[in-house]
Amino acid sequence: MHHDRIVSLDTIYGAEQGPSFMTGIQALVRLPMMQRRLDRRNRLDTAGLVTGYRGSPLGAYDQQLWKASRHLAAHDVVFQPGLNEDLAATALWGAQMHKAFGKTRADGVFGIWYGKGNGVDRTGDVFRNANVLGTSPLGGVLAIAGDDHAAQSSMFPHQTDGIFQSVMMPVIQPATVGEILSLGLAGFALSRFSGLWVAMKTIAEVVESAASFELPDAYPAFVSPREVVPAHGLNWDPTVAWPAQRTELERRMIDERLPAVTAWARANRLDRPVLHGGARRLCVVTVGKAHQDVMQALDNLGIGAAGAHAIGLSVYKVALSWPLDTTSLLEFADGFEEILVVEEKRPVVEEQVKFALFNRSGTRPRVTGKTDAGGGPLLPQTLEFDPLRVARAIVGRLPGTGDLRERLAALEARVPSAQVVPFPARKPFFCSGCPHNSSTKTPEGSIAGGGIGCHVMALSQPKLKTATFSQMGGEGIQWVGAAPFSETGHIFQNLGDGTYQHSGLLAIRAAVAAKANITFKILYNDAVAMTGGQPAEGAIDPARISRQLAAEGVGSIHLVSDDPVRWRAATDLAPGTTIEHRDDLDRVQRRLRETPGVTAIIYEQTCAAEKRRRRKRGAFPDPDKRIFINPRVCEGCGDCSVQSNCIAVEPVETAYGRKRRINQSSCNKDFSCIKGFCPSFVEVEGAVLRKPDGDRLKAFEAARLADLPAPALPAHDGIANIYVAGIGGLGVLTVGALLGTAAHLDGCGATVLDFTGLAQKNGAVVSQVRIAPPGMPIHAVRIDAGEIDVLLGTDVVVAAGPDTLRRIAADRSTLVLNDDETPTADIVADRDFTLPTPAMIDTLTRRAKAAHRLRATSIAEGLFGSNVAANTLLLGYAWQQGLIPLAAEAVRGAIAANGAAVALNVRAFEWGRLAAIDPALVEEMAGLAAPGPQTETTDALTARLAAELTAYQDERYAARFTALVDRARRAATGLGRDGEDFVEAVARNAYRLMAYKDEYEVARLYADPAFIAGLSEQFSGRRRLSVYLAPPILSRTDPATGRPRKRKFGPWIFPAFRLLARMKRLRGSWADPFGHSHERRAERRMIEDYAALVAELTTDLSPATLPAATGLARLPDMIRGYGPVKAAAMVEAEARKAALLDALADGRRATAAKVAA
């Protein structure tokens, strides 16, 4: 490990030379400090201002600025987050004219504005005005635009070039993290010289990547071509008064400032040649990120400097894309046969080149880019492209180079030709305990409008009935326009608290002015979770919002909270504000949709992810309780998932079928799941999650982990591509960061590119890591098709997705897969949804050179009591397999530099290494039982279930069950595997019906020692147990749901359970106090009906009737749950039964026809 390559905030922001490793966001944080140091060197008394509004790919910029507050303050740089993008730009406009406000403490203020593409759109008017008036000579402004060419984390793709061109702001485009620094300093200098605001266009591949690179010159000397500066200067001129000089300002812009931009760019060689061909055949002009694609394409084609010279290919790199320095470019390209412009999205540079050449006399080169010389499509204007597409374009423009075509064919062959299997995708979903699980629900018969924020994911959940969305701040106004022409009388409009503060209040004002019938649901979550949990600017709170709404003329205002008690004594709420519990949201909404005019619900509940963060810091109450589902009482009906919409409620396969459990690692203690109409929910107070035996593990680690044998590391003579695929929020990006940092510490070059997408908590997240030997350049940061060397599949679903599969090559890729399955959000809507995990693993294995599998999540939970270190454990496994070309010391150093749970992650890394050496030993130490038999014979199943029914009632009752199964077995004799399936279906479903969970059975299952044993496996310490029940005699109907209301019963209920369990012999008798209810009579009737159905099915069972007969035999599996849930399931089952009986009749006719023939 290179000890001079320390990675810390001090080195990232303080080092002036040498190798560094940082993200593009950190480079943007460092940039104003570099500018201030440069000014100090030049004896200029300046200060800096950074302001803007967050949004991907710049979503984490403000967080990193806050983290660097000490460093910024030391450089006189002020970070002042904007309330929204256009007001932030207005603040910077004022900073450029700070001398207009009297005496100043700095001679100039340089500024950075930031915002994503949508923010650029809305800020155009400010840009235009501020840019026309100009910058100060010792100020200067960079406007950092976060473009999202492929809509990775936006509603639509966007490209800001045209907006900046329209407001006449020069645009620079860095291609790498390092160029953010070098071009950033150049941008400030250009802005000061020309008097114009300068835009810096960034995209995810640059600003959301990390790279190891040599720091650029911290004190560059820029050339100012004074000959283009008029006597009155180019900067803000307070002597030019409005309105008399409006035309003068436009004249200066067109005649003086823009020409000064290209003159300055030319003087400072901002655009430059990169490769020189011998013959002048093809000049490839590159722009921004596309430059890296071109260089990677040339590498992939085997074209270096000598090769380019031989085939007559040159590369010219454009940094200033508008206004283009066409003089320098055309001087370089003079005499070329063709200019190929490679830029993503719409043609900005290409059109300027064509315009410059149009009236040029003499021989002119062809100009291609988006189209070829004949007008045919060449490089797309949509989404984005990659090195392979660029390679096709380059080779196509060089006729007569057969060897290049052969190399291109080899590259094409690496792209998987097989059809990608459409496996289920891991889509983004609300976090467990997310307020939006409840707040976005809409009453039956109503619709809602969506907006910008995590709650936009309601659009993809049909049950939430969210139909539309708008731009940020336009929420609800679509309805204002549609309402006069709609027969719908009212809608609900979701509005996040961040958007409310950004611009949403104005939309509410407009709705009031229009007298619209609309209810705004202001989702106050105390954090802007979509971009990382930042606070909404302005420190708003529900009380202030209520007063603002009242002042705007909103009629009825309701504060709905998960903790309304703490609001009862509030004195600062708007008069008349009603305080309600979140459980009453449906009732409140039904009332408000009948109320004319604009009404509002302030839904107050802290963001679940933010709760977890604050609890770790001890800054948020952590209830001393957890929820446990008794698996034997659970029916697997999924009503808890329906009520809570929570992904911490997971399916679990048991010997008695699919049940539900709470994933304690991901549970955020929202407790909405207890609303499921089911008596299986147990509240555990005072206990803690059981942790492994620390002393035992400590002794083992000292003996076995201290001196593990080192593997033979892979030869590192080329770039190693490591692709980490997993679930958002579970440390995938941490693994990528560790690998990149470790590579830097080990003296290697590295890039890391993270793709997190739209609110990717629980969605697919990937980190693409490229590691180069010392001195070897890395061009494209994205791993191309067929180029994965190592896949760390921390989640099989993401690993088997099409984006990953296309990057796997059978002759190159080695896979390390987490064998543990994590359910997708599909399970919330479909209780029986099953991931095709075996098929996904098989597909991955067949496509790769080699594959390793490890139960990483289970091992981590067994060893550390949590799954948080599972990915680091998998990394250790991969390293010990000799797949990672880095020293172990460097990996440990990266873990230390990361600073989060250092000891735990080092332990996990070493345990992963041991798992590669002795997986059985590690599983044993983690307490994982060896896998048992995968299948149970029908005879064994029948015997087990008969024993259960004996315990349920008595031997006579069990004998009825056995006789029914025997009847099915006799009828299925000779029908092979399908016949066995029929018998198994009868056994399982006859048991399901006969073991219906009445009060006696629920009590027996709670009295069973297995219940306490299961609890003890998860929890330790003194505990107080309560159960949530809705006893038929004691429970009133909840007017909000129409269901019996559940109540919490404390520890005293368990002796009552034991007593009630002993009364099971009353079941079904005249003395049974519970047996006369409609539900119990229906359950007993279903048993008799099922026995009659089996008797009918077995009279003429045949290959033709078997499919329908098996379907009918399985029908009771649809009938799960308790009370109203079970009643609804009975209705659905009856409808299904009719279709199956028709199919059975068809089978019988087919059998009869066959016999007759």
- Over residues 101-111, mean pLDDT: 94
- What count of other Cβ atoms lies within 10 Å of the Cβ of residue 881? 20
In the three-class reduction of DSSP (H, G, I as helix; E, B as strand; rest coil), residue 656 is classed as coil
152 pLDDT band (50/70/90 cuts)? Answer: confident
Q: Is the pLDDT of residue 1116 over 50?
A: yes
> Which pLDDT tens digit goes with each residue over 128-139?
999 999 999 999
Six-digit token string for 1048: 């919490």
How many whole angstroms from its chain centre is CA 967? 53
> Which pLDDT tens digit goes with each residue over 190-220?
999 999 999 999 999 999 999 999 999 999 9
pLDDT of residue 449: 95
In the three-class reduction of DSSP (H, G, I as helix; E, B as strand; rest coil), residue 198 is classed as strand
Q: At residue 387, what are phi and psi to the nearest 5 degrees?
A: -60, -35
Choices 2.40.70.10, 3.40.50.2300, 3.40.640.10, 3.40.920.10: CATH for 715-925: 3.40.920.10
- Which residues are within 8 A (CB) of 1086 and not within 5 positions of it... i.e. 6 or more apart? 993, 1116, 1119, 1130
Handedness of CA 839, 844, 846, 852 (dihedral sign): negative
- As a whole number of angstroms, the distance between CA 1080 and CA 109 comes to 79
Residue 106 zone, left/alpha/beta (φ > 0; ψ -120 to 50; rest): beta
- As a whole number of angstroms, the distance between CA 344 and CA 379 comes to 8
Reduced DSSP (H G I as helix, E B as strand, rest coil) percent helix, strand, coil of the chain, to 5:
45, 15, 40
CATH 3.40.50.2300 describes domain 271-413? no
> Which pLDDT tens digit goes with each residue over 796-810?
999 999 999 999 999
- Over residues 873-897, mean pLDDT: 97
- Over residues 601-614, mean pLDDT: 91
> Which pLDDT tens digit goes with each residue over 561-598?
999 999 998 899 999 999 999 999 999 999 999 999 99
- As a whole number of angstroms, the distance between CA 1120 and CA 1130 comes to 9
535 pLDDT band (50/70/90 cuts)? Answer: confident
3-class SS string, 244-271: CCHHHHHHHHHHHHHHHHHHHHHHCCCC
pLDDT of residue 931: 62
pLDDT of residue 730: 85
pLDDT of residue 2: 65
Contact 1068, 1074 (CB under 8 A): no
Cα angle 923, 925, 931 (rounded to 5 degrees) comes to 35
Contact 603, 585 (CB under 8 A): yes
- Listed in order, the ranges of the chain carrying CATH 3.40.50.920 are 271-413
Residues for the chain: how many in total?
Answer: 1157
> Which pLDDT tens digit goes with each residue over 15-59?
999 999 999 999 999 999 999 999 999 999 999 999 999 999 999
Q: Is the pLDDT of residue 612 over 90?
A: no
Q: Is the pLDDT of residue 533 over 90?
A: no
- Which residues are within 8 A (CB) of 1075 and not within 5 positions of it... i.e. 6 or more apart? 998, 1066, 1067, 1068, 1069, 1081, 1084
- Which residues are within 8 A (CB) of 804 and not within 5 positions of it... i.e. 6 or more apart? 723, 725, 766, 788, 791, 793, 798
- Over residues 361-377, mean pLDDT: 94
Q: Is the pLDDT of residue 453 over 50?
A: yes
- What count of other Cβ atoms lies within 10 Å of the Cβ of residue 630? 22
- As a whole number of angstroms, the distance between CA 59 and CA 69 comes to 17
- Over residues 106-114, mean pLDDT: 97
- Over residues 315-324, mean pLDDT: 99
Find, among 334, 344, 289, 288, the residue nearest to 314 by Cα.
334
How many whole angstroms from its chain centre is CA 976? 47
How far separated are the first and last CA of the chain, in Å rounded?
A: 83
How many whole angstroms from its chain centre is CA 1125? 33
- Listed in order, the ranges of the chain carrying CATH 3.40.920.10 are 715-925
- Which residues are within 8 A (CB) of 687 and not within 5 positions of it... i.e. 6 or more apart? 626, 1019, 1020, 1021, 1022, 1023
Scan for tokens 């302030």, then name that residue.
602
- As a whole number of angstroms, the distance between CA 723 and CA 725 comes to 6
- Over residues 256-271, mean pLDDT: 98
Q: List C-alpha distances in Å: 256 to 93, 227, 231, 249, 267.
A: 21, 11, 11, 10, 16
Give burial (CB, 10 Å; 0-12/13-18/19+) of 238.
exposed
- Listed in order, the ranges of the chain carrying CATH 3.40.50.970 are 9-221, 436-606
Stated as kind and residue range, the H or E segment containing 191 is helix 177-194
Share of the chain above pLDDT 70, in %: 98
- Which residues are within 8 A (CB) of 550 and not within 5 positions of it... i.e. 6 or more apart? 557, 574, 575, 576, 577
CATH superfamily for domain 9-221: Thiamin diphosphate (ThDP)-binding fold, Pyr/PP domains (3.40.50.970)
Q: What is the dihedral of CA 162, 168, 169, 171, to 10 degrees?
A: 50
Task: Say if strands 688-689 and 1019-1020 run parallel, antiparallel, or are unpaired.
Answer: antiparallel
Find, among 55, 381, 70, 82, the residue nearest to 208 by Cα.
55
CB-based burial, 1095-1126: b 16+ in 10 Å, e otherwise? eebbeebbebbbbbbbbbbbbbbbbbbbbbbb
Contact 781, 210 (CB under 8 A): no
Task: Say if strands 557-561 and 598-604 run parallel, antiparallel, or are unpaired.
Answer: parallel
- Over residues 1014-1040, mean pLDDT: 90
> Which pLDDT tens digit goes with each residue over 327-354?
999 999 999 999 999 999 999 999 999 9
Q: Is the pLDDT of residue 418 over 60?
A: no
pLDDT of residue 759: 43
Six-digit token string for 756: 């997190």
Contact 796, 818 (CB under 8 A): yes
Share of the chain above pLDDT 90, in %: 85
Q: If you classify domain 436-606 with CATH, what class do you get?
A: alpha beta
- As a whole number of angstroms, the distance between CA 345 and CA 287 comes to 11
> Which pLDDT tens digit goes with each residue over 730-763?
889 999 999 999 999 999 999 999 987 544 567 8
pLDDT of residue 401: 82
- Over residues 601-629, mean pLDDT: 92
What is the crossing angle of helices 902-917 and 856-864, to 10°?
130
> Which pLDDT tens digit goes with each residue over 893-935?
999 999 999 999 999 999 999 999 999 999 999 999 766 556 7
> Which pLDDT tens digit goes with each residue over 675-712?
999 999 999 999 899 888 888 999 999 999 989 999 99
Query: Whole-structure pTM over 0.85, yes or no?
Result: yes
- Over residues 440-445, mean pLDDT: 94
pLDDT of residue 1041: 85
